[in-house]
Structure 1
């Protein structure tokens, strides 16, 4: 084993300048995947943290705990000042010794009030506003009892017989809850908090699946060069186990370096991420930092995913090393991939009111993965049609390339295609700005949060798509540098090669991008009771335009690399 590791390390170091560039592309791809994957995981912990910190305002009633006697009375009121909400919690203690919520050292007595730092600053700066709380201020609410930084919260002490402690509140539950007898301040998240957590779970799926696909694809960057090298080792006597071990070792070394770089990138991004306002406020840094266990799980899972993906791609090297060395076209993929996608989409009509979030998340995840599974099969079919109908050399070269290696061509456009799925799903559900009411601030607040969330998901998806397109395009040039050199040696013009390279990206992108958008819209249809809004149409159009522009720009960045590898057309051994 030590000899294998030593050989792997020597091959990794001895790959020359272009070998180092290929490894650097893998590290960059894994770094971006890891950073964004950490963000996708962190948002679930962030909303969970908010829900837990606000649970004390929604405690269990004494009637819900038959074995416990009522020890306090609590009522909440919410009002808006501009676009900021002030939450006032009225408390009357029935028996001494009741434990206050975390973040509050002592419950206020009648005529006393404790305030959050944000509310204390507001009342100090505006005396007229401060008259709303004439009670004696006796303390400050800590972060453990605040949903977000700067939240405006006051806890006011009362006697049990005060009017506010006996009045029945008949307004919107989101703006207040009538007085109720409670056994303590151990509560459960509100329905709004649970709704945000459900939306966060769906958003995570829309971000995580493309990231996992991109991370897995990172293991197959410069795959042709590696496969030819491993096939040569098989032909000179290396066993399948040795080939697998070397591949896993190489993949994990580069992936671990990329994962650590991704952790660094995410750490640097935390301060700006905390300023994204959702549900009326920003975030504590501890919300965006998911904790040692989730971070460790991501840092372990990413290299394992990359290693597993690399091993899965070794079948031809292990079974037919001579075919790899001779660069034979692999057999076509099976229609079973399409059946898998159709089976996932068959479950979509079951979506609707009352369906569990877990079911929606599972089906969306499977549909996402099925789109990625069917992508190479469709690309291969597109290649056959393109080659048969080609009337110019560039189009013929593009078609033949798509047929010869549809998986590699799919990796270049998969990011944008999967982003099309996200855009189609979100576009159908994006609420129109005209639905916001100036008389219902909570509704306007929720709609704004949905728009903010969809924007974040799309930004993450597009970042993955464009980075994926750029890295895989450069990797493809490195993989085929000997082929390009031979074509140049045979007299093929550089412009023809460059046009063929562009066509093998744009043709499948047009077909798969459009198909992914339609698939995403189909998955969102059961939830879209009001139909697509104008905002949704604009979202789709912008997504399509940015997707095409991003892939074209990313492909253009690899043109100098194409010129470089064809400058000296004499073929060189790897």
Structure 2
């Protein structure tokens, strides 16, 4: 095998300047695919890491041998949520909560770095007065979802009012005091939801990446087929041809994979700034780990090599046909049948479908669109060639008929991105989905028997703090009561002072507004929009890179044909017009079709009709798609002029 690798390496080096340029295009394509594949892998692992770090705040009741009591409630400051965890040890030597060096003693308060910094910057009556107690230290990263998270851990005595209070009637984010045997906990519903969204987003990114990676193995395929067919005709065995192809593909793909891994490492500082789930990421979150990186460095070259071997059937079976440049037989209609079969399953899906089923169906729909693409391009070629009235149209039509796969590779990235845009555009939530919640009235659940006394204390506290408010008591859920402090303003500073004044009025409960209750929902909607932008940005990066690389590779594959056409008197503007037709026409048909298919796949999950945000997303995607392909064609025009300058056959 070392001899085969040596021969493949000599053939790579001996391919001339343009041959090396073709190999360089493959390296760049694999590098882009590898870096974005690592991004998708790291994103899923990062959300899993966040879910694990948050789980300790969702306690599991101990069946026996409880060692501590844990209670959790949500407070707010500066329109940001603050997670307050109260813990009390039931026996000496209780295990410390994650991120803490020891179990907090009664009266100690441990703060996350972001919360400690905020307490120093804001006036004491807005935050610090609520966190009174002995300084216990800073909470470590192991207990935080993200670096900017606001978390406080307070030590309590087992018999303190906070550890014996009941659950608030309106505190759906609060957790009543729970006897626990350790700080293991379970993942929250929100964390699981983010993991599911990350998995779906990965499918929307990874499938085009795999298609792009497979296309990378077929870059400059015509040059390689001619060379390998010649070797086959002079006596090389099919096994030797396959081995040389695998060796050449693996060499270039491995170089691209290493370059892509290095590129991903350089991007990690930027990736940590993407805010999802309330804040940015730890640097460790963006590192997928040594084993996943090594796995990608092994799998990517193998997939590229496998894809290259699949394209060798013509060389192995009929090397003379390749040498004679015979047109391969037309593709079969069964490709369309496969797509229709996948789409027939889509209406059976819905909100109740398992995430695994949805992931598989989306992946199959993606692959089916890619499978149908060359068939549609071939059909368009026959239509264009039959109806051509100008030389450019005839050249474009004949080119699409002769090699529809190559023509499809140029536009496949943008077309598949159209699928992503159609799917996401229909699901992108509108800004007014949750409406505008009230932020002027603070509410606090109170025991019915103490409602009158607590309302009087609330008036006194608010007056002492200099906050003008009207305090009333209203019926809450069931037989409960809710104290309402009408502030008459939504000014965040006034609201924070009122929260501080009411803090501790009812142990283990915090005053909140209706806007606070909806803040989690708004954050999720913002995260969906952020994820939409991220997925589309990644998809368009792949699409534009694919269009540019494959456009240049196509010119290198057909350089002798272009040169001979130009030598025969074909003007350059005709050649460029033919290139534009064979890219923009399939893009318009398959891009529009992919958008429609993506929207169809999103219908079972759509909550309402498309909103303005989704429509704008689609229009921007269409504009960027056409601009990207047109720009790729324009960027490769100098290369076309270069290859037409010398029509003489080259030795490579």
Q: TM-score, normalised by structure 2?
A: 0.86
Query: Among 284, 287, 290, which residue is 2:285 paired with?
Result: 287
Aligned length: 569
Query: Among 319, 332, 335, which residue is 2:333 paired with?
Result: 335
Query: Among 81, 103, 107, which residue is 1:107 paired with?
Result: 103
Contact 1:219 1:251 in 2 (8 A): yes
Contact 2:59 2:178 in 1 (8 A): no
Contact 1:379 1:508 in 2 (8 A): yes
Residue in structure 1 matched with residue 598 of structure 2 by the alignment: 520
Alignment of 1:381 with 2:388, yes or no, is no
> Hey, what's the Cα distance between the residues in 1 that align with 2:643 and 2:531?
43
Unaligned runs of 5+ in 2: 438-514
Q: CA deviation at 1:83?
A: 4.2
> Hey, what's the Cα distance between the residues in 2 that align with 1:250 and 1:172?
63
Q: Specify whether residues 525 and 172 from structure 1 end up closer, same or farther in structure 2 by C-alpha distance, changes over 3 A only.
A: farther
Residue in structure 2 matched with residue 78 of structure 1 by the alignment: 74
> Hey, what's the Cα distance between the residues in 1 that align with 2:95 and 2:560?
74
Q: Secondary structure at the match of 1:186?
A: coil
> Hey, what's the Cα distance between the residues in 1 that align with 2:156 and 2:586?
68
Q: Secondary structure at the match of 1:238?
A: coil
Q: Secondary structure at the match of 1:279?
A: coil
Q: Specify whether residues 108 and 538 from structure 1 end up closer, same or farther in structure 2 by C-alpha distance, changes over 3 A only.
A: same
> Hey, what's the Cα distance between the residues in 2 that align with 1:212 and 1:101?
42
Residue in structure 2 matched with residue 87 of structure 1 by the alignment: 83
> Hey, what's the Cα distance between the residues in 1 that align with 2:74 and 2:242?
62
Q: Secondary structure at the match of 1:347?
A: helix
> Hey, what's the Cα distance between the residues in 2 that align with 1:370 and 1:79?
49
> Hey, what's the Cα distance between the residues in 1 that align with 2:237 and 2:190?
58
Q: Secondary structure at the match of 1:185?
A: coil
Residue in structure 2 matched with residue 6 of structure 1 by the alignment: 6
Contact 2:229 2:315 in 1 (8 A): yes
Alignment of 1:246 with 2:324, yes or no, is no
Residue in structure 2 matched with residue 264 of structure 1 by the alignment: 262
Residue in structure 2 matched with residue 417 of structure 1 by the alignment: 415
Residue in structure 2 matched with residue 395 of structure 1 by the alignment: 393
Deviation by residue 1:208-248 (Cα, 9 ceiling, x = unmatched): 00001101110100000000000000000000000000000
Q: CA deviation at 1:172?
A: 4.8
> Hey, what's the Cα distance between the residues in 2 that align with 1:72 and 1:376?
64
Q: CA deviation at 1:460?
A: 0.1
Question: Within 5 Å, which residues of 2 pair with 1:553-568?
Answer: 553-568=631-646
Q: TM-score, normalised by structure 1?
A: 0.97
> Hey, what's the Cα distance between the residues in 1 that align with 2:45 and 2:80?
24
> Hey, what's the Cα distance between the residues in 1 that align with 2:622 and 2:391?
28
Alignment of 1:50 with 2:46, yes or no, is no
Q: CA deviation at 1:402?
A: 0.3
Residue in structure 2 matched with residue 463 of structure 1 by the alignment: 541
Contact 1:334 1:377 in 2 (8 A): yes
> Hey, what's the Cα distance between the residues in 2 that align with 1:171 and 1:451?
29
Q: CA deviation at 1:490?
A: 1.4
> Hey, what's the Cα distance between the residues in 1 that align with 2:75 and 2:145?
16
Q: Specify whether residues 468 and 71 from structure 1 end up closer, same or farther in structure 2 by C-alpha distance, changes over 3 A only.
A: same
Q: Secondary structure at the match of 1:132?
A: helix
Q: Secondary structure at the match of 2:208?
A: helix
Alignment of 1:545 with 2:623, yes or no, is yes
Question: Within 5 Å, which residues of 2 pair with 1:287-436?
Answer: 287-436=285-434
